[in-house]
Amino acid sequence: MPLVADETHTLSAGPGGWCRAQGLRPDALVVGKALGGGLPGAAYGFSARWAEAATAAKQAAAPGHSGIGTTLSGHLAGLAAMRATLETLMTPAVYAGMLARGARLADGLERLIGIRGLPWSVCRLGARCELQFSPVLPRNGKEAAACFDEPLAAWLHLALLNRGVLLTPFHMMMLVSPATQDAQIQRLLDALADALDSLAAA
């Protein structure tokens, strides 16, 4: 069975993303705009067999057919951003700092929910952490959706915003970037602790 990997959200696992960290060799691989620091762009990789099939399909397509467009279209700004990201940010040294701070954030989140006896868990993928409203980590998207509490998440987002911390405006995801400092992680943890205490008091 072919293995297709979308590393758009898993590049935080380390240099080379989740596939390299796990020693996987997918038949096809795609990376989204994270490759360019957020600018529109993407990169694709194929095994030799899949590359031959993709080339044949393109050659058989009608004139003018692209198959790739909009945010994935190539342009100079995106290419320059990708080169800068690959050369200066996606390096073992930068990842080492991100992964260490990601672990510190995950440990801090686990302490906060453990001390309060909350039936939650923390999912961590490299520099990316996410609160799950379940005592057991979900194994897939279906399980994650089933345990997600939309009103609670909305309250936590607003509570953190009122305390000067803005999370990604979906899920309960926190991503440590190359620019993230220990003081910022502690500020997030302090704000969340205060918010959870406020919720318990209510």
The pLDDT tens digits of the residues spanning 81-93 come to 999 999 999 999 9
Q: Are residues 85 and 131 in the same domain?
A: no
Q: Are residues 46 and 143 in the same domain?
A: no
Q: Are residues 102 and 138 in the same domain?
A: yes
DSSP assignment of 95-156, as one string? HHHHHHHHHHHHHHHHHHHHHTT-S-EEEEETTEEEEESSSS--SSHHHHHHH--HHHHHHH
End position of a domain, from candidates 89, 124, 143:
89
Q: How far is Cα 29 from Cα 5, in angstroms, rounded to an integer?
A: 5
Q: Are residues 171 and 137 in the same domain?
A: yes
Q: Are residues 174 and 100 in the same domain?
A: yes
End position of a domain, from candidates 89, 115, 144:
89
Q: What percent of the chain has pLDDT over 70?
A: 96
- As for how many domains the chain has, the answer is 2
Which amino acid, residue 84? A
Backbone φ and ψ of 136, nearest 5°: -115, 130
Q: Are residues 158 and 78 in the same domain?
A: no
Backbone φ and ψ of 178, nearest 5°: -60, -25
Using alpha carbons, list the distances in angstroms from residue 83 to 15, 73, 91: 15, 16, 12
Please give the structure tokens belonging to residue 183. 């003081």
End position of a domain, from candidates 57, 89, 121:
89
Q: Are residues 38 and 106 in the same domain?
A: no
- We report the CATH number of the domain holding residue 156 as 3.90.1150.10
Please list, in sequence order, all residues whose beta carbon lies within 8 angstroms of the beta carbon of residue 147, skipping any fewer than 6 positions away: 132, 133, 134, 138
Rg of the chain taking only CA atoms, in angstroms: 20
Reported as a single tens digit per residue, the pLDDT across 26-83 is 999 999 888 888 888 888 888 999 889 888 988 898 887 766 655 556 678 888 999 9
Q: Are residues 136 and 59 in the same domain?
A: no
pTM value? 0.86
Q: Are residues 10 and 74 in the same domain?
A: yes
Residue 34 belongs to what domain range?
4-89
- pLDDT, averaged across the chain: 91
Q: What percent of the chain has pLDDT over 90?
A: 67
